[in-house]
Amino acid sequence: MDRILLVDDDKSLCELLGEFLESEGFAVAAVHDGEKAVNRALSERFSLVILDVMLPGLGGIEVLKAIRRQSAVPVLMLTARGEEVDRIVGLELGADDYLPKPFNPRELVARIRAILRRGRMESAGEGAAGILRVADLVIDPAARHVSINGKTIELTTVEFDLLEALAQSAGTAFSRENLVRQVLKRPFSPFDRSLDVHVSNLRRKIGAYPDGSERIKTVRGVGYILAFPPEETRP
């Protein structure tokens, strides 16, 4: 059974969500402040953390920072509707997804299951794919491991899935719509910038080629491409 850590200072909401999530087959633990959230997220094994941005004391963004310094556990952030800054900052810091309040509990469950599915490629049989190599970049889907010149690159679940999707079609442009549907597992909206934030994070982590050329390039009006270095072409 998947264990979920629910972090929100609204105790009534936690109780209602906890009952709903348990009825959907999840085990739920709830905490109501940031410090306890960090302690439990790092000391216990959870499949996913649902984290409200607005918390007393240590806020949700600071909690996310603290978790990401030591753990890659998936984090779904709850934000106030219209607070785009919080959503962007959360994604930049490594949140896997976000959901604005108020929300339909069924949508929350759908988001949770999409995130968990992304993290289970191997058990679902999808992780049996072979090693992907693009120049000095090596992706092992089964181990969910990425390295460049032998150096391990730490990625969040979404960042790994995004990189793998691009690598499977390296040298070919991948549309934003297809990436949203395949990686984020939700319908495409031209006003949703979360994919672009994840791409920005991924670019920062994998860096450029030694000659300074970008590994992930933007194709105007289309989407993104994982490019080969100038001296290479697609096999």
- All domains of the chain, ordered by start, with CATH? 3-118 (3.40.50.2300), 129-226 (1.10.10.10)
Q: What is the pLDDT of residue 57?
A: 87
- Cα–Cα distance between 58 and 155 in angstroms, integer? 25
H/E stretch holding 38:
helix 34-43
Nearest to 199 by CA among 161, 229, 172, 146: 161
- Cα–Cα distance between 34 and 39 in angstroms, integer? 9
| pLDDT mean over 48-75 | 92
- The answer on pLDDT for 122 being more than 70 is no
20 to each of 17, 87, 106, 152, how far by Cα in Å?
Answer: 5, 24, 9, 39
Q: What is the pLDDT of residue 228?
A: 86
pLDDT tens-digit map of 193-220: 899 999 999 999 999 998 889 999 999 8
Q: What is the pLDDT of residue 125?
A: 45
The whole-angstrom distance between residue 52's C-alpha and the CA centroid of its chain comes to 16
Secondary-structure breakdown of the chain: helix, strand, coil percentages, each rounded to the nearest 5 = 40, 20, 40
